[in-house]
Amino acid sequence: MKTHAIFTGSELLSGQTLNSNLITLGMKWNEMGWRLESSSTIPDETQLIKKTLLTAMENHELVIICGGLGATSDDITRRAVADALKLKINYSEKIRTELEEFMAQRQRTPQEQWLKNQSEHIESAKLLNNSTGLAYGQIIKYGSKLIALLPGPPSEFSPMLNDELVALINSKKSFTQLNYIIAGETESSVERRCSPIKEEYPQIDFGFCAQPGLVKLSLRIPQNIEVQEVEKLCKSNFKQEILNKPSLAEEILHLARSKKWTFASAESCTGGLVSSALTAIPGSSDVVSGAIVSYSCDWKNLHLKVKKSLLKKFGAVSHECAYAMAEGLRNKYKVDCGIAITGIAGPDGGSEEKQVGLVYIASFTPTAIKVEKCVFRGDRNMIRQHSVSHSLNQLRLQIKQK
């Protein structure tokens, strides 16, 4: 479905607010196999909204307008869209009643004008439920086109997009979408390894979206192709790399649970990001025992029993230190598996012998410790994110080999 997105809000153009909704929409459309062909970011001006909408409708099947559905003076999207399409504005008693009940529960009395503004809907529009806010979304079928109005706050936009709009559009699609998360590969290597599938099925559209240490692979498969055969080829081409869970952190938790193992991390340059990734997942407490952020050499010695003589001879950023950190973590805290990381995330601290981006990662199970030397590119944040992804994947492969 060819889609154009319009984001309204002067704050988006002044740099005051990051347009995270565009990122959310782009990732979701890529996952679903639909085409977000273009987007516009415009201020809250009625004539500009109307002009941008009518222009976008000329070449797109779906136009999504994000923002301007509240009840303040700059929330003009509903009326601008209605005016552009020459449709009437109606007032929904259903919306009004629900708003009154909501405000009564909070012992607040809304103003009449606020209720009137929030109860507006465009004639013939289907209302989209807002599970996290008060502004209903709307979707209008206008000839062969669809126009969707979604709220601007990301906490409202994302649930409505996923739970309401995507579900509605998905029921009408004429293809099958396969999505895989490939760990430990680059975007170019995943594309290269997909070449045999492309050659056998040239009708399939492939999508590649790279993140630190991961590539999201999507395949848009026409109805005349046997999906199971394509699945077999993908799983054969990426036997070890395809995740069975939505993220590396969830995969680690699943693998550890299956063996009734506990997990801990010892982190220097990543400052607790590994344990944060795991504990962000509900229910992780049955696996994660804890974490040590041993940033200084003194803490490596005190909390992980890394010998001062070792640190003096090889340095904190070394194969030997990473191994000792993992060994100390496993022995002292009696955990079954885990990760130890030490490195130089920059932008300072590098040298000719040990450049910025040099990271040593140790992963361990009850019977083995594995250390890998890595050199990551990018700024401090990217180096840290790559370290987290690589360490989790390193442990994943080590567990699966047992």
- Given this model, what pLDDT does residue 262 score? 98
Class of domain 248-400: alpha beta
The domains spanning 2-170 and 175-237 adopt the same CATH topology: no
Instruction: Give CATH for domain 2-170.
Output: 3.40.980.10
Class of domain 175-237: alpha beta
Token digits of residue 287: 């696996």
DSSP string, 101-126: HHHHHTT----HHHHHHHTEEETTPE
319/313 Cα distance (integer angstroms): 12
Closest CA to 198 of 233, 163, 164, 161: 233
194/236 Cα distance (integer angstroms): 11
370/324 Cα distance (integer angstroms): 11
- Given this model, what pLDDT does residue 402 score? 67
Give Cα separations from 192 to 56, 123, 199, 375 (angstroms).
35, 50, 11, 23
User: What element of type H or E holds 205?
Assistant: strand 205-211
DSSP string, 254-277: HHHHHHT--EEEEESTTTTHHHHH
Provide the mean pLDDT of the chain. Answer: 94
**Cβ pair 147, 168 in contact under 8 A:** no
Low-confidence ranges of the chain (pLDDT < 50): none
- Given this model, what pLDDT does residue 35 score? 82
Domain boundaries, the chain: 2-170, 175-237, 248-400
Q: Are strands 337-343 and 62-66 parallel, antiparallel or unpaired?
A: unpaired
- Given this model, what pLDDT does residue 153 score? 95
